[in-house]
Amino acid sequence: MLAQAERPTSTAKQRPDAVFPDLRPDTHVPHPLHAQDRVWPETNCYVDLWIEVLQALGAPPEAVLGFTVRQDFEGDQFTFFKFPIPDIEAVTGADIQELAIFENPEDHVAVQVARGRLCLVEVDGFYLPDTRGVAYGTVHGKTTIAVNRIDIANRRMEYFHNAGYFALDGADFDGVFQRIEGPDGRRPLFLPYSEFVKLPPMRQARTDLADWARRRLAEHLARRPDANPIAAFAERFPAEAALLADRPFDAFHRYAFNTLRQVGANFELLASHLRWLGDNGSAARQALQIAETAKAAQFQLARAVSRRSFDRLGPALDPAIAAWDDLMADLQVRYGG
């Protein structure tokens, strides 16, 4: 048994029960990137989680957002944008590796947490109480959490998810780790994709962080899409919206999340990145224009589906299309040379 083999004895040095021992769900304050007055207070589970983890590590998440210039339209969705692991490692000094799951996943997680390592695990949002009113107890779907504290004996866990830090216990603990016996009386082996974060012994802030962020933005900019991705999406938007009219309403939410929310949230984060770099000019305004246009288009999409009238969706994204062209031209002048 992994957990048994790794448990400290009475003569061993006591290991931590949490990677960040001072964190508590009832006192955690989300990062300003998750403020409710933003156009898109939440983005996607992986990015939102890392924003909170980077804050816990004492690193500014805004410094690591240059990758957002690379978002493309992938034919049926916008890129599910994620912090590149090399960028996180460069800013924090962490080493992020895949965690192999070959026994009960909670045992692997407990071993790593006891070694001071944060564990990122894909789980079913159906069992996460922080998703109450959205998925908790109603909708099955994968999402990523970062486990900071785990107590297997008492079936309790504290974790980062989306825009906050939360706790769960009891039946939710069993559900997250699929600790449920099958018809044959045996527990099926649950093998989620997992990563673990090995933190450096001494956490020191980079003295060249702004210079590094500018260089990294230039590198990401060189890999931006060749053609305007919002224009490519706009060509398909009215026809795809029409198909939603005859489908259950949850299809609307899935479509909007993977298209309008992803592009809108992505470019609002780019605006925050540029402002963190001290660039409060036209580039930041154009990025924010994309975010605001995507939010307005999402409301228009909901009305169009409800009324079964899609003619007005054609020009809905025109301001964002123009903003993307102007934004990329501006960034090329400022950072691409």
Q: Is the pLDDT assigned to residue 198 strictly greater than 90?
A: yes
Whether residue 302 is predicted with pLDDT greater than 50 in this model: the reply is yes
pLDDT above 70 (res 158): yes
Measuring CA to CA, which residue among 337, 333, 327, 279 is closest to residue 70?
327
pLDDT category at 16 given cuts 50, 70, 90 is: low
| Bigger pLDDT: 311 vs 151 | 151
- pLDDT tens figures, 57-79: 999 999 999 999 999 999 999 99
For residue 337, what pLDDT is reported? 65
Domain boundaries, the chain: 2-198, 209-335
- What is the layout of strands, in order, in the sheet containing 194-198? 95-98, 194-198, 118-124, 142-151, 156-161, 164-169
pLDDT mean over 316-333 = 97
| Tokens of residue 115, six digits | 């070694």
Task: Give the pLDDT score at 2.
Answer: 55
Residue 205 has pLDDT above 80, yes or no: no
Mean pLDDT, the chain, whole residue set: 92
Cα 194 from Cα 41, distance rounded (Å): 26
Residue 7, pLDDT > 90, answer no
Tell how strand 142-151 and strand 118-124 pair up: antiparallel
306 vs 161, residue with greater confidence: 161
- Fold for the domain defined by 2-198: Cathepsin B; Chain A (3.90.70)
Tokens of 334: 């400022």
**Model pLDDT for residues 18-58, shown as the tens digit of each residue:** 999 999 999 999 999 999 999 999 999 999 999 999 999 99
H helices present in the chain, as ranges:
2-6, 45-56, 85-92, 105-114, 171-176, 209-221, 229-244, 249-256, 262-276, 282-307, 318-335
Query: What is the per-residue pLDDT for 44?
Result: 94
CB 164 within 8 A of CB 174: no
- How does residue 329 score in pLDDT terms, banded at 50, 70 and 90? very high
Confidence (pLDDT) at 12? 37
3-class state of residue 24 by DSSP = coil
% of the chain exceeding 90 in pLDDT:
80
- Which pair of structure tokens corresponds to residue 62? 């805004």
Position 202 scores a pLDDT of: 73
> What would the pLDDT profile of 259-277 be if each residue is shown by its tens digit?
999 999 999 999 999 999 9
